[in-house]
Amino acid sequence: MKIPPSELPLQPSGAIYHIGIHPENLADKIILVGDPGRVETISNKFDTLEFTHSHRELTTHTGFFQNKRISVISTGMGTDNIDIVLTELDALANVDLQKMERKSEHITLTMVRIGTCGAIQEDIPVGSFIAAKQGFGFDGLLQFYKHNSQEYEDLVEHFVGFTGWGERLPYPYCFPADQTLLETIAFDMVKGITASAPGFFGPQGRQVCAPLAFPHLNEKIEAFNYQGNRITNLEMECSAIYGLGNLLKHKTLTVCLAIANRVNHQFLKDYNQQMDILITKVLNRI
């Protein structure tokens, strides 16, 4: 079935519309970062750099690290950006952009997000590396897609009941990391459920000026535990990466550096050295 140009637009050059690259510019191993500036930080470690491109906040560098061809791509912040980036990455790999038809053979991409987060458990110090066993979405993005996440339906329902989740909030969803990536990349990291919020301040329980509708929600999130599973940290992208990654049949993992602890109100102002260690771990293990 042909995909209409209104549904998957291309640039005049034939490049995918938002990311702005062609299929040959994309490696099968991909590191996703939010900050465009972090792309160069990672690609500076490459042995060779073959391609660079930047469009809006979406910067792509592709090259080789220890004989592995890797693309590093910035997504910007939020699950809405992830919706664009993962859909276009899948199209670059699995849609014939000239015929505008899905290819008969599926290419599985490996995508690892390196980011920052806030720990929401008192026993996780700032500077810790946290790997998401599951991505738990507060954002509602995956509710616009037909999906079957029955494996975690009981967990989600228990969370909704335990927290008194507001009826006017998006209904949560939950998807797993790729187990092989979790074991090979994150074997020495803290592991737990990573929750993705649709914002940095109010949706993550930060009250600066505007009053919060659910001022005690973070306390309930911290106390939540279902069959030994607890929410370890809050950020803004993981749930959409896992949800779309599962729907599109790609391998996904999120690893984050905890630069804040929301329980004891600590913040790591200078985290460049710890981030460099995390980047090196991922490059060596991906």
Residue 151 has pLDDT above 90, yes or no: no
Residue 50: count other Cβ atoms within 10 Å of its Cβ.
13
* 112 close to 185: Cβ distance less than 8 angstroms: yes
* Strand (E) or helix (H) holding 263: none
Share of the chain above pLDDT 90, in %: 98
Mean pLDDT score, 213-230: 95
pLDDT value at position 91?
A: 98
Mean pLDDT score, 150-168: 93
Residue 149 has pLDDT above 80, yes or no: no
In this structure, the dihedral spanned by the alpha carbons of residues 131, 219, 202 and 139, taken in order and rounded to 10 degrees, is: 50
pLDDT digits (tens, 9 = 90+) for 164-188: 999 999 999 999 999 999 999 999 9
* 281 close to 26: Cβ distance less than 8 angstroms: no
pLDDT digits (tens, 9 = 90+) for 239-252: 999 999 999 999 99
Mean pLDDT score, 65-83: 97
pLDDT value at position 195?
A: 98
Mean of per-residue pLDDT scores for the chain: 96
Residue 124 has pLDDT above 80, yes or no: yes
Mean pLDDT score, 56-68: 97
pTM for the model: 0.97
* 241 close to 137: Cβ distance less than 8 angstroms: no
Any idea what DSSP says for residue 268? Answer: -
Beta-strand pair 29-33/110-119: parallel
Q: Could you tell me where the DSSP H helices lie in the chain?
A: 36-43, 79-94, 153-163, 179-185, 217-223, 238-247, 272-285
Instruction: Compute φ and ψ for 118, nearest 5 degrees.
Output: -115, 125
Lowest-confidence region among 141-150, 173-182, 184-193, 208-217: 141-150
pLDDT value at position 283?
A: 98
Show me where the domains of the chain are located.
Answer: 1-107, 115-286
Are 1-107 and 115-286 in the same CATH fold? yes
Mean pLDDT score, 266-280: 96
Longest dimension (CA), the chain: 55
Look up residue 282 and give its two tokens. 């991922």
- Model confidence at 64, in pLDDT bands (50, 70, 90)? very high
115-286 placed in CATH 3.40.50.1580? yes
Residue 148 has pLDDT above 90, yes or no: no
pLDDT value at position 147?
A: 86
Mean pLDDT score, 245-266: 97
Residue 150 has pLDDT above 80, yes or no: no
Give the 3-state DSSP-derived string for 182-214, with helices as H, strands as E and coil as C. HHHHCCCCEEEEEEECCCCCHHHCCCCCCCCCC
Q: What angle do CA 131, 137, 138 make, to 5 degrees?
A: 130
What is the length of the chain?
Answer: 286
1-107 falls under which CATH superfamily?
Nucleoside phosphorylase domain (3.40.50.1580)
Beta-strand pair 225-226/29-33: unpaired
Residue 72 has pLDDT above 80, yes or no: yes
pLDDT digits (tens, 9 = 90+) for 5-17: 999 999 999 999 9
